[in-house]
Structure 1
Amino acid sequence: MEAIAAAPVYSISRYYIHVEAGVYRERVEVSIINGDGFIAKFITFENSAGDGSQAVAVTSVSNQSAFFQCTFLGYQDTLYAKSGWQFYRECNIYGTVDFVFGAAAAIFQSCNLFSRLPKTITFSTQNKQDTHVSSGYVIQNCTLTVAPGLERQKPLFKAYLGRPWSNLSTVIVMESYLDDIIQPTGWLSWGNISTNKVTYYEFRNHGPGASTGKRVNWKGYKAVTQANMVRKFTVARFIFGDDWLPGTGIPFTRGFMTD
C-alpha cells in the first residue's frame, strides 16, 4: 500500500511500481484506474467475495490503458472496462455473469475467458451510449470456455457471448475459439432493451460453439463473411493502436490474425 500512496496524484510521465513475485493478501485500495496510459503486466487481480452479487476485481477508466498476461478473478462483473481505449493481451479473465462489462472501446486479443460455475453465463455486457463515441468490445483470437478443472461439467453450462446493457451495445467476436458451452442462439436479450440497433458481429470463429446457423434473429446481429465489414474493429482502426501501443512494450496484432 505504501507504493500506491507514494505514487503522484497527477504526473506528466509514467510512474512505475514493481511488485515482487508472490501472493499478497491485503487490502490495497486503487479504487479506479483513471490515469491515462496505465499499464499492468503479469499481475493477478482478484475479488474474493465469491458468487452471489456484483464483485468487481478491476475498474478501468484509463484511456490508452494496456494489460499484458494479467489474470482477473471474480464471478459477477469481474472486469469493468468502463471508458477510454483499452487493450488486453494474453490475459485470463474468470467470471460468470456479465464478467466483462462497461462502455470502453476495448480489444481483448489472445485472451482466455473462463466460465467458473455451471450456470447461465454471459461473457460480455457492453454499454455504448452514443453513436458518435468510440465504444465497444472486440474479442479477437480468444478462447471462450470453462475454467480449468470443470471440463466434465460442461453440459451444465449455458453460455452466451453477451447481452445488451444499452440499445447501442457493440460486441465483435472474431477469429476466436468458441467451446460447446455457447448456446446455439449465441446471444441473450436483457429486459426491455431493444436489440434493433445493437452491433453484434461474429467473424471467422471456430470450435463447436461457433456455428451461426441458429443464432438470434435480431436486426443488429450479423454473421459476417466479408473482412471489410469488421476491419474497422481491428487494433489499428478501432483504438488507433499504432499510435500508442508500441510505447507500452506489449505485443499486438494491428489487423486480422488470419489474413
Structure 2
Amino acid sequence: MAPTYSNLSIIVLITVLLVVMSSCAGWVNAAEDPAAAILIRVDPSGKGDYVKIQDAIDAVPSNNKDNVFILVKPGVYKEKIVVPADKPLITISGSKANAVIITWNDSGNIFESSTFSVLASDFVARYLTIQNTYGAGAKAVALRVSGDRAAFLGCRILSYQDTLLDDTGRHYYSNCYIEGAVDFICGNAASLFEKCHLHSLSEGDASITAQRRESPSEETGFTFLNCKITGVKTALLGRAWGPYSRVVFAFTYMSDVILPQGWDDWGDSSNQRSVFYREYKCYGPGANSKHRVEWSQELSGKEAEPFLTKYMIGGNTWIRSLPTRFKKASTAPKSNKNH
C-alpha cells in the first residue's frame, strides 16, 4: 500500500493558478525571479495547452533559463518520456500521485528501457506515479535520473528489476513510494531518500539497493533517512555493484522482510574490504544487527552526523519550493488538443 500524502500545498497552488494568473507576457529568468514560473498545462481532455506530457516538455526552449511549471491533470499517460539535458529548470506536477499515472512497458538496456528519463539538471517531480509494467525476467527501469540537482516529492516509482536507475548527479527523494524486487534502487548518484517507503517484491534474497561507487574519491552513495521497508517475503538491504559501494540506513523501520545478514558482496569477497555499508538507530524486526555480515557496521553518533541532513547533497541550496507567481510565455505554446 502506497503512503498517503498531504495535498494542501497543491490545492493552494491550483487556487493560485485559477485566481492570480498574471496578465504579463514573457519568459521569467529563474536567476532574476526564482519564485516565478512559466505555466504549461497538460490535460488529457484537451482543455489544457497539451494532452501529452512529452509535448509540453518539447515546448520548452533549448538552453532554457526559466522556471517552467508543467501542471498535469489526472489521467493515465501512456508515454515514454525524456527530459533532455538542454532543458533544465522544469517542474512536472500532479495533484496526487495515484491520480497522474505515467506508464510504459519496456525492457532490456538499463539506460534505454526507462519509462521516464531525466537528463536535465534542476528538475523537480511532484505527485506522479511512474511505472514500467514489464514485470519479472529482465531489466525494466521505471525512472532514470542522470541529471544533477533533481528532486522527487510524493512520487510513486514502480517496476520489478532496476525500478529506479539513480544514475549520476545529486538527487533528493522525499515521501516517495518505491517498489521492486531485484536491485530496485541502483546506480552511482549521491542521493538522499527521506521518509520514503521501500517495498520489496523479492521472493528470496534479491537486494533493495545496488550502489555502484567505483573509487574512494567519488562522493556518491545512497542515504535512507527516516524511511520504511516492507515486502512480500525476504530481501537484502544491498549488494556491491561497485567495489566501493556506499549505502547508509538511518532511523529506518525495517520489517522482517530483511534477511539477518543484511548485505551481499556480489560474489566477490574483495569487495568486503572496500564497501561502506552502515546502519544507524534503525528499528523493527529486520534491524537486528546481531547476525549482520561482519563487514557492515553500526555508525556512532558522530559518524552519522554527515548523513542526517540535506547538506550531504547540497540540497539546502538547490531544492526548489513551489512557485508563487505564474506567467505565460511570450509565444503561446502550440496546442495539440486534436492529436
TM-score normalised to structure 1 length = 0.86
One-letter identity of the residue aligned with 1:63:
D
Residue 120 of structure 1 and its aligned partner are, at CA, apart by: 2.6
Q: Deviations over 1:203-259 (max 9, x none)?
A: 0100010110110012xx2112x21102112334311222222x3349xxxxxxxxx
Match of 1:222 among 297, 300, 312: 297
Kindly indicate whether the alpha-carbon contact (under 8 Å) linking 2:182 and 2:202 is maintained by their aligned counterparts in 1: no
Does residue 234 of the first structure (1) align with residue 234 of the second (2)? no
- Could you tell me whether the CA contact under 8 Å between 1:231 and 1:237 is conserved in 2? no
- Give a deviation string over 1:19-55, Cα, whole Å, max 9, x none: 1112223444556312111000000101111111100
Does the C-alpha gap of structure 1 residues 196 and 117 become closer, same or farther in structure 2, counting only changes over 3 Å?
closer
Question: Which residue type is aligned with residue 56 of structure 2?
Answer: A
Shift of 1:5: 2.0
> Alignment partner for residue 209 of structure 1, among 283, 286, 295?
286
Q: Is the 8 A contact 1:50 1:75 kept in 2?
A: yes
How far apart in 2 are the matches of 1:37 and 1:73? 23
Corresponding residue to 2:71 among 5, 10, 18: 18
Question: Out of 170, 184, 191, which is 2:260 matched to?
Answer: 184
The unaligned stretches of length 5 or more in structure 1 are 147-153, 251-259
Moved more, 56-65 or 28-37: 28-37
1:186 and 1:241 map into 2 onto residues whose CA distance is 29
Does 2:321 correspond to 1:248? yes
Q: In the TM superposition, what whole-angstrom CA distance separates every residue of 1:151-192 from its partner, at most 9, and x where no partner exists?
A: xxx5xx221100011111000001000000111101112022
Do 1:105 and 1:136's aligned partners in 2 also have CA atoms closer than 8 Å? yes
Count of residue correspondences = 237
How much does 1:117 deviate?
Answer: 4.5
Match for residue 146 of structure 2 among 46, 61, 84: 61
Mapped contact 1:39–1:248 kept (Cα < 8 A): no
| Cα deviation, residue 63, structure 1 | 1.0
SS for the counterpart of 1:167 is: coil
Q: Which amino acid aligns with 1:162?
A: G
* Corresponding residue number in structure 1 for 2:334: none
Q: How many Å separate the matches in 2 of 1:26 and 1:243?
A: 32
Give the letter for the 1:216 counterpart. V
State the shift of 1:16 in Å. Answer: 2.1
Please give the alpha-carbon distance, in whole angstroms, between the structure 1 residues aligned to 2:79 and 2:126: 20
Matches within 5 A, 1:46-125: 46-125=131-210
How far, CA to CA, are the matches of 2:67 and 2:215 in structure 1? 31
What root-mean-square deviation, in Å, do the aligned CA atoms of Structure 1 and Structure 2 show? 1.7
CA–CA distance in structure 2, aligned partners of residues 53 and 11 of structure 1: 36
Code of the residue aligned with 1:211 in structure 2: it is N
Q: Distance in 1 between matches of 2:286 and 2:322?
A: 34
Q: 1:200 aligned to 273, 277, 281, which one?
A: 277
Which of the pair has the greater relative contact order for Cα pairs under 8 Å at 6+ separation? 2
Residues in 1 aligned to 2:309 and 2:146: alpha-carbon distance in whole angstroms: 18
Matched letter for residue 172 of structure 1: V
Post-superposition offset of 1:3: 1.3
Q: Structure 2: 5+ residue runs without aligned partners?
A: 1-53, 84-115, 324-339
Q: Which deviates the most, 125-134 or 177-186?
A: 125-134
Structure whose alpha-carbon radius of gyration is higher? 2
Taking a change above 3 Å as real, the CA distance of residues 187 and 238 of structure 1, as seen in their structure-2 partners, is same
Task: Go from structure 1 to structure 2 and tell me whether the alpha carbon gap of 1:20 and 1:79 turns closer, same or farther (over 3 Å shift).
Answer: same
Task: Choose which of 137, 140, 143 in structure 1 pairs with 2:225.
Answer: 140
Change (3 A) 1:42 1:131: same
Going from structure 1 to structure 2, the CA distance change for 1:242 and 1:211 (only over 3 Å counts) comes to same
